[in-house]
């Protein structure tokens, strides 16, 4: 898993508070969409939004950048040498959407989410009781 660093405090805080932040980097990254790990936040998706050409391009993303004004943001971007860089959307992945544990039904071979099995206490598909499940993921 690639780590992504946030050295600018207000940017990191925006991600922590809003679970999303727009950030400009000088490097376009490996691919358009990837997963990264951020210290203190956890797993995030990192999406390449666009190449930054002008300061005005960023205006619509300002409210989720962590900066109070477009000039502050732009000055920081330039100080990192990223004025012709790339805009990324970094979004925290909620724990609930992480791949969940699944169990396979011995009756019909259907794979059921463990949480659903717990709720129903039987197979959603064929009614096989939960205690017969093999617990395989
Ligand atoms: Zn079943």
Tell me what percent of the residues of the chain surpass a pLDDT of 70: 95
Residue among 52, 26, 48 at smallest CA distance from 36:
48
Question: Taking all residues of the chain, what is their mean pLDDT, rounded to a whole number?
Answer: 91
Q: How many Cβ atoms sit within 10 Å of the Cβ of residue 90?
A: 23
Judge: domain 2-96, CATH 2.30.130.
Answer: yes
Q: Classify strands 102-104 and 2-3 as parallel, antiparallel or unpaired.
A: unpaired
> Rounded to the nearest whole angstrom, what is the distance from the C-alpha of residue 98 to the centroid of ligand 1?
24
Distance 94 CA to ligand 1 centre (A): 29
Q: According to CATH, where is 2.30.130 located in the chain?
A: 2-96
User: Is the confidence at residue 27, as pLDDT, over 50?
Assistant: yes
Residue 137 pLDDT more than 80? no
């Amino acid at each position: 898993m690639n780590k992504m660093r946030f050295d600018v405090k207000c940017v990191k805080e925006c991600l922590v508070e809003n679970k999303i932040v727009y950030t400009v980097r000088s490097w376009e990254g490996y691919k358009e969409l990837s997963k990264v790990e951020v210290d203190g936040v956890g797993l995030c998706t990192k999406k390449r939004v666009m190449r930054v050409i002008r300061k005005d391009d960023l205006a619509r993303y300002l409210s989720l950048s962590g900066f109070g004004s477009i000039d502050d943001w732009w000055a920081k971007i330039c100080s990192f040498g990223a004025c012709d860089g790339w805009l990324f959307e970094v979004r925290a992945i909620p724990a609930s959407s992480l791949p969940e544990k699944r169990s396979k039904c011995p009756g019909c071979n259907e794979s059921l989410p463990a949480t659903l099995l717990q709720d129903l206490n039987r197979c959603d598909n064929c009614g096989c009781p939960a205690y017969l499940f093999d617990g395989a993921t």
